[in-house]
Structure 1
Amino acid sequence: MSNESKNLNQLGTVSVLEINEHDAGRLSFNTEKKSTSIRVEEAYHHDPDAIIERIKESGDMDDILAEDADFIVGKFYTIDVRTSLQVLQEAIEYFDSDVNFPEKVFKKLKLLVEGEESYGQGPVLYDLDLRLEAALIKFHSPYPEVRSVCSPVDDPNVPVETFRAYVIGLFWVAVGSFVNQMMGFRQPYFTLSAQVIQLLSVPCGQLAARIVPDISVFGIKLNPGPWTFKEQVFVTIITNVGAHGATFIYYAPTMRLKIFYGQEWMGYGFTVVMGLTCQFFGLGLAGVLRRWAIYPVKAVWPTILPILQLNRTLLVPEKKKNINGWTISKYKFFNLVLAGSFIYFFIPDYLFTALSTFNWPTWIAPTNKKLAYVMGSRIGMGFNPITTFDWSVINFSTPLILPFYTHANRYVGSVIASIVILIMVFTNYKYTAYIPPNTADVYDRYGKSYNVTRILKNGRLDIDLYKQYSPPYISAGNLLSQSVSYMVYTFGFVYVLLSEWKVFKEAIEGFMKNLKNRETSNYERYKDPVSVLMRQYPEVPDWWFLVVLALSFIIACIAMAAFPTTTPVWVIVVVLIASIVLIVPFIVLYSSTGYFLSMNMLGTILGGYLVPGNGLVCIFTRIFGFGVDDQSETFIGDQKLAHYAKLPPRAVFRAQIIAVFVQIFCSAGALEFLVTGLPNFCSYTQESRFVCTFAHSLYGESITLGVVGPHRTFDVLYPTLKYCFLIGALIALPCFYVRKFFSDQLRFFHPVLFLGGFIVYGSTYNISYYTPGLYTSFFFMYYIRQRYLAWWAKYNYIMSSALTAGVAFSGILIFLALQYKPKHLVWWGNEVSSAGVDGKMVATYRTVPEGGYFGLPEGSWS
Structure 2
Amino acid sequence: MDNELGNMDEKDVKLVSSEAQEKMVKSVEVTSVDTDSFKEKLLDRLEQSENARSLSASKEDVKKVLDKIAQISLEEAMEIVDYALHNHEYDNNFPFALRRQLELLRKGCEAYGTDQETYEYDLKTEACLIAYFSPYAEVRSVTDIEDDVDQPAETFRTYVLGIIWVIIGTGVNTFFYPRFPGISLTAAVIQIFIYPCGKFMEYVLPRKEVGIGKWRFSLNPGPWSFKEQTIATMMVSVTISGTYFTQYNLLVQKLPKYYGNTYITMGYQFLMCFSSQFFGLGMAGVMRRFVIYPITQMWPTTLPTLALNRALVLKDERTETESGWKITRYRLFFYTFFGMFLYYWLPGYLFQALSTFNWMTWISPNNFNLAVITGGSLGLGFNPIPTFDWNIANNIYPNVVSVPFFSYVQQYIGAVIGFLFIIGIYYSNTYYSGYIDVNYNGCVDNTNNEYNISKILTNGLLDNAKYQEYSPPYYSAGYLLVYGSSWLAVPLSILYPCLEEWRTLYKAGKEFWFAILHPRTKILPHKFDPFMRAMTKYKEVPDWWYISISLISFVLAAIALSIYPTNTPVWSLVIVVLADVLCLPPLGIIQGVNGFQVGIWMLPEIIAGYLFPGNGVANLILKMYGAQIGQQADSYASNQKIAHYARIPPRSTFRVQNIATIFQVLVALGVVNWQLSNINGLCEAGNPDKFTCPWVTMIFTDTVMYGAIGTRVIFDTIYPMFKWGFLFGFMLAIVWWGVIKCVPRLRILNPNAFFFGMQYFTPYSLAYWTAGLYVNFLFNYVLRRRFLGWWQKYAYVMSSALSAGVVFSAIIIFFAVQYNPKFVSWWGNNQPFSGIDGGVGRQTLLPLPERGYFGYEKGHFPTSQ
TM-score, normalising length: structure 2: 0.90
1:225 to 209, 222, 237: 222
Aligned equivalents of 1:332, 1:127: Cα separation in 2: 45
CA distance in 1, matches of 2:224, 2:43: 33
The one-letter code matched in structure 1 to 2:549 is: V
- How far is the alpha carbon of 1:328 from its aligned partner? 3.9
Superposed CA deviations along residues 318-353 of structure 1, whole A, max 9, x for unmatched, are: 253444554444344433333333333333222322
Q: What secondary structure is seen at the aligned counterpart in 1 of 2:740?
A: helix
Matched, 1:519 2:516: no
**Residue 572 of structure 1 aligns to which amino acid in structure 2?**
L
**Contact kept in structure 1, 2:46 and 2:140, CA below 8 Å:** no
Q: How does 1:730-809 map to 2 (within 5 A)?
A: 730-744=731-745, 746-761=746-761, 763-809=762-808
Matched, 1:253 2:251: yes
Structure 1 pair 400–380 and aligned structure 2 pair: CA distance change class (3 A) = same
Change (3 A) 1:227 1:575: same
In the TM superposition, what is the alpha-carbon distance from 1:136 to its structure 2 partner? 2.0
Cα drift, residue 57 of structure 1: 6.2
Q: Which among 275, 278, 282 is matched to residue 277 of structure 1?
A: 275
Match of 1:240 in 2: 237
1:798-828 CA-to-partner distances (Å, cap 9, x unmatched) read: 3333332232233223223233223322222
Does the CA contact (< 8 Å) of 1:539 and 1:650 recur in 2? yes
Q: Is the 8 A contact 1:497 1:504 kept in 2?
A: yes
Structure 1: distance between partners of 2:641 and 2:357:
38
Number of the residue aligned with 1:295: 293
Compared CA separation, residues 50 and 230, structure 1 to 2 (3 A) = closer
The 8 Å contact of residues 131 and 530 in structure 2, kept in 1 or not, is answered as yes
Query: What is the aligned partner in structure 2 of residue 445 from structure 1?
Result: 446
SS of aligned partner of 2:747: coil
Corresponding position of 1:371: 370
Distance 2:113 2:353 in 1: 57
Equivalents in 2 of 1:131, 1:335: separation in Å? Answer: 44
Q: Please report how far the alpha carbon of residue 435 of structure 1 lies from its aligned counterpart in structure 2 after TM superposition.
A: 0.6
Residue deviations 1:284-328 (CA, integer Å, cap 9, x gap)? 011011112211223222222222222222222425344455444
Relative distance call for 1:50 and 1:407 in structure 2 (3 A) is: closer
CA distance in 2, matches of 1:72, 1:538: 27
Partner residue in 2 for 1:49: 36
Equivalent in the alignment of 1:424: 425
Aligned residue number for residue 124 of structure 2: 131
Residues 538-588 of structure 1: CA distance to partner in whole angstroms, max 9, x if unpaired? 010111100111111011101111112121111111111111111211111
Whether the 8 Å CA contact 2:349–2:813 is kept in 1: the answer is yes
Read off the aligned partner of 1:131 and give its amino acid letter. Answer: K
Does the CA contact (< 8 Å) of 2:436 and 2:844 recur in 1? yes
Q: Which amino acid aligns with 2:772?
A: G
The offset of 1:133, in angstroms, is 2.5
Deviation at 1:213, TM superposition (A): 2.4
Residue equivalent to 1:342: 341
Q: Distance in 1 between matches of 2:155 and 2:145?
A: 24
Q: Give the 3 Å change call, closer, same or farther, for CA 384–600 of structure 1 in structure 2.
A: same
Distance of 1:804 and 1:227 partners within structure 2: 26
Q: CA deviation at 1:527?
A: 3.7
The within-5 A match list for 1:598-609 is 598-609=599-610
Q: Pick one of 57, 64, 67 that aligns with 1:74.
A: 67
Is the CA contact 1:281–1:553 (under 8 Å) kept in the aligned structure 2? yes
> Unaligned 5+ residue runs, structure 1?
1-38
Q: Map Cα deviations across residues 761-786 of structure 1 (whole Å, 9 max, x no partner).
A: 3x321221111222332343344444
Which has the larger displacement, 780-789 or 444-453? 780-789
Whole-Å separation in 1 of the counterparts to 2:565 and 2:44: 70
TM-score of the pair, normalised by structure 1: 0.91
Structure 1 residues 333 and 126: CA distance shift in structure 2, 3 A: farther
User: 3-state SS of the aligned residue for 2:610?
Assistant: helix
Matches within 5 A, 1:257-656: 257-318=255-316, 320-395=319-394, 396-397=396-397, 398-521=399-522, 524-525=525-526, 527-656=528-657
Q: Does the C-alpha gap of structure 1 residues 820 and 127 become closer, same or farther in structure 2, counting only changes over 3 Å?
A: farther
Match of 1:684 in 2: 685
Which residues of 2 match residues 69-218 of structure 1 at below 5 A? Answer: 69-96=62-89, 98-218=91-211
Tell me if structure 2 keeps the 8 A contact 1:144–1:793.
Answer: no
Aligned residues: 822
Separation (CA, whole Å) in 2 of partners of 1:644 and 1:483: 38
Counterpart-to-counterpart distance in 2, 1:109 and 1:829: 60
CA drift at 1:60: 5.4
Q: Distance in 2 between matches of 1:827 and 1:93?
A: 66
Any unmatched runs of 5+ in structure 2? 1-26
Identity %: 38
Moved more, 264-273 or 683-692: 264-273
1:635 Cα shift?
1.4
Q: Structure 1 counterpart of 2:408, which letter?
A: H
Q: Distance in 2 between matches of 1:179 and 1:828?
A: 31
Superposed displacement of residue 504, structure 1: 0.5
Residue identity opposite 1:796 in structure 2: A
Counterpart of 1:568, as a letter, is P
Rounded to whole Å, the distance in 1 between the matches of 2:576 and 2:631 is 14
CA contact (8 A) 2:311 2:793 kept: no
| Structure 2 residue aligned with 1:20 | none
8 A Cα contact 2:47 2:137, kept in partner: no
Query: Letter of the aligned partner of 2:362 in structure 1?
Result: W
The aligned amino acid for 1:175 is I
**Alpha-carbon RMSD:** 2.4
Compared with structure 1, are the counterparts of its residues 344 and 136 closer, same or farther at alpha carbon in structure 2 (3 Å cutoff)? farther
User: Shift in Å at residue 260 of structure 1?
Assistant: 0.8
Quick one: distance in 1 between partners of 2:373 and 2:86? 46
Aligned letter for 2:688?
Answer: E
Aligned mates of 1:89, 1:390 — CA distance in 2: 51
Q: Secondary structure at the match of 2:748?
A: coil
Call closer, same or farther: CA 1:499–1:444 in 2, change over 3 Å.
same
Amino acid aligned to 1:236? T
